[in-house]
Amino acid sequence: MNSNEFKDKLTFVTPEVPEHFHNRLEMTLENIVSQEAQMKDSTKQTMKKAGRFSSRTVAIALAITLMLGAVAFAAATQWHLFDHIPFLTGNDTPKNADSLMQSDLYHETINNVEINVQEAGYDGRTLFLKYSYRMLDVDKAFTDGISVDDEQLLYNHNVGWWIDNLWINGKSMDMANGSGGLKTGSNVPGEIIVVEYWRLDNEGISLNGPVQISLPIGERQNLADYSRKNHPEMYDVDGTLKLPDKGVVTFTYDAGDIRSQVTTFKPDGETVLPEVTAKVREAAFSPLMTYVTLDLKVDPNALAAFIAENGPGEKTENSEVIFPYSAMDVFSKWINSLELVDRKGVLIFPGHYGLDGYGNEWAEFLYPYLENIPDELYLAPVENGAADMSQAVRVK
């Protein structure tokens, strides 16, 4: 059998791979070839530049990769949403992502813009979303990020997020505390990718079973048409906006019985320090993330001493107080130094900063998924890699 016959038979028996996976692996293979070329250039050798790969060639390469034991590579590239939020879920795709994530949830073309809800997931606390706009008449690939001018291109198509609401089963909600999002480009011309994380638990919302999620990312609407004053019929009795019949995309996500997979602890006891008393309100371990919420109470004498030493607050150039000092100014250094450790003070997530936010009476810490939960966990101040367990707060 000659080489052409061999390739023909491989072509016949090797299946096509999904386009998005093909593109990702193709880029990886080309990077490998490029790196090899650079190494050979350094030794005065030459290498022919790699050409494009066919989908079947990529499938063969994937098979070889799996035979070499790189199963983790396939898992890491399956859910691209997590590539954008390592500050929440860590540098690797969470181990349980396959059981919670769903893909290809919605597709529609509006005003020459393809709208795709690519991935969605829910871990009992946070709703994760990844969707994209692809402007079919734009040749530029936004590989260096999204500029104001790039966003204007989308605006010119009269498509995109147009009102600050999200609807779950037709019920409106605003973006809760602790939520966020980001925009980026890709190698695909005209494509803008959006990744969002919605802290539904901070609004007292919990998903169960199949739910309908509606996003205002379709054709932009005139906000004057949604004024509560001029159009009260568009609002519920509690004053929330009803689900519009225009400008939204709606898809179904099946949350299953995810709540049964979240383990929570509410430890007894509190840590009393000269400046503050701290207690864990709840520690929740989901299949995707770790959540720890503290209740805090400043010592009034410590607050008074802080103000006596530093003045009443942040001042303008004219000595006008614009930000009066409060409880969180007193314990800010301590709260910012806390890290999740075991009973021996060993860091659970080295290099991952967990403090997500804090106020005068609370603080929240977010960490990646924790597969093996130690018998004892603490939040302890860490300096130069060493934990001070005398100031630690019991988490579990």
The pair of three-digit structure tokens given for residue 42, joined into one six-digit string: 């350094």
Within the chain, how many helices (H) and strands (E) appear? 10, 21
Please report the pLDDT score of residue 125 as a whole number.
96
Alpha helices in 43-194 (DSSP H): 55-67, 71-78, 86-89, 97-100, 148-156
Same domain, 71 and 183: no
With tokens 């060993």, the residue in question is 346
Same domain, 230 and 142: yes
Same domain, 155 and 269: no
Please report the pLDDT score of residue 254 as a whole number.
97
User: DSSP secondary structure string, 240-276?
Assistant: PBPPPSSS-EEEEEE-TTGGGG-EEE-----EE-SSE
Same domain, 287 and 266: yes
Please report the pLDDT score of residue 321 as a whole number.
84
Please report the pLDDT score of residue 381 as a whole number.
97
Q: What is the dihedral of CA 294, 298, 302, 303, to 10 degrees?
A: 120
Contact 136, 192 (CB under 8 A): no
Please report the pLDDT score of residue 176 as a whole number.
87
Distance from CA of residue 281 to its chain's centroid? 24
Same domain, 112 and 249: yes
**Which of 194, 227, 259 represents a domain boundary (last residue)?**
259
Same domain, 117 and 7: no
Same domain, 282 and 334: yes
**Which of 234, 259, 284 represents a domain boundary (last residue)?**
259
Contact 124, 208 (CB under 8 A): no
Please report the pLDDT score of residue 5 as a whole number.
43
Distance CA 74, CA 97 (A): 13
Same domain, 96 and 47: no
Residues 6+ apart with CB under 8 A from 87: 353
The pair of three-digit structure tokens given for residue 375, joined into one six-digit string: 């018998």
Please report the pLDDT score of residue 284 as a whole number.
97
Same domain, 239 and 314: no
Tell me the pLDDT tens digit for each residue of 361-392. 999 999 999 999 999 999 999 999 899 999 99
Q: What is the CATH number of the domain that holds 212?
A: 2.60.40.1630
- Which residues make beta-bridge pairs with 387? 382
Same domain, 170 and 267: no
Contact 392, 379 (CB under 8 A): yes
**Which of 236, 259, 282 represents a domain boundary (last residue)?**
259
Residues of the chain with pLDDT under 50: 1-77
Same domain, 70 and 97: no
Same domain, 127 and 250: yes
Residues 6+ apart with CB under 8 A from 123: 100, 258, 262, 286, 287, 288, 289
Residues 6+ apart with CB under 8 A from 355: 335, 336, 338, 363, 364, 365
The count of domains in the chain is: 3
Contact 207, 189 (CB under 8 A): no
> Could you tell me the residue range of the domain that residue 50 belongs to?
3-77
